[in-house]
Amino acid sequence: MSMAPESVELREQATRARIVRAAQALFHRYGYQKTTVADIARDLGMSSANVYRFFESKKAINEAVALTLTGEVEAEARRNAAAAGPAAERLRKLLTDMHSMNAERYLRDLKMHEMVAVAITESWPIIRQHLETIHGILAELIREGIARGEFRDCDPVMAAHCVQAAMVRYCHPRLMVECAGMPHPTLDEMVDFLLASLSRPRPRPRPEGRGRA
């Protein structure tokens, strides 16, 4: 009896996911450059030819791992943006968590840093799509903050671009390593600056007695 097309597709998706998980673990353990497709196949108890049925090259596996990592950051950003509370607090949490996730992976784990550096060089469209996704999340959150009266009236699309540009050294794997010894501005100082630039100015209190007859 032949399997239903849906069952075949689900099994293939599960196998692809297993390959990606194995590759990510081996990249973490041995490094991207030292890990071969044969290593991944051996870890899974399958042949290299079977791995190539699902991924045409090691680069394609690397792209799938990079998509998994960036997808996790995007999912956390969406959760923070959709949470309850003031937009400024959610934006602070979003930016802080984004930095923390990238630091945990790429600053403290140089083997994963190597893999992502290769992905940025060889698979820029994936990284660009990730940046565009994060930009969209930021822009929507800033737009909401404007509508709620928390943020000043501005172009949320451009404001999101500015926030991303300011956060590059805190999220880009290479810059995080190269700027690790720079004491200022700290992440908190940068986030404070960004929120201050977005916040609606508070009205100045009228001097006592002014305006009376």
- Both tokens of 101, joined, read 């996730």
pLDDT class of 1 with cuts at 50, 70, 90: very low
Residues of the chain with pLDDT > 90, as a percent, come to 59
- Both tokens of 180, joined, read 């690790």
Our measurement of the distance from residue 86's CA atom to the centroid of its chain's CA atoms, rounded to an integer in Å, reads 22
**pLDDT at res. 207:** 63
Q: Is the peptide bond before 185 cis (omega within 30 degrees of 0)?
A: yes
Domains and CATH numbers, the chain: 1-56 (1.10.10.60), 63-198 (1.10.357.10)
Q: What is the largest distance, in Å, between two alpha-carbon atoms of the chain?
A: 96
pLDDT class of 183 with cuts at 50, 70, 90: confident
**pLDDT at res. 213:** 44
* For residue 16, pLDDT beyond 80: yes
- Selection from 14, 13, 102 nearest residue 66 by Cα: 102
Taking residues 8-21, what's their average pLDDT? Answer: 90
| Burial profile 63-101: b = 16 or more Cβ within 10 angstroms, e = fewer | bbbbbebbeebbebbbebbeeeeebbebbbbbbeebbeb
* For residue 2, pLDDT beyond 70: no
**E strands along 68-206, which residues?**
none
More confident residue, 41 or 178: 41
**pLDDT at res. 71:** 92
Query: CA-CA distance, 171 to 131, in Å (whole number)?
Result: 11
Taking residues 162-189, what's their average pLDDT? Answer: 88
189 contact partners, CB below 8 Å, separation of at least 6: none
Taking residues 29-41, what's their average pLDDT? Answer: 91
Taking residues 21-25, what's their average pLDDT? Answer: 93
Q: What is the pLDDT of residues 58-71, one digit of tens each?
A: 989 988 988 888 89
* For residue 118, pLDDT beyond 90: no
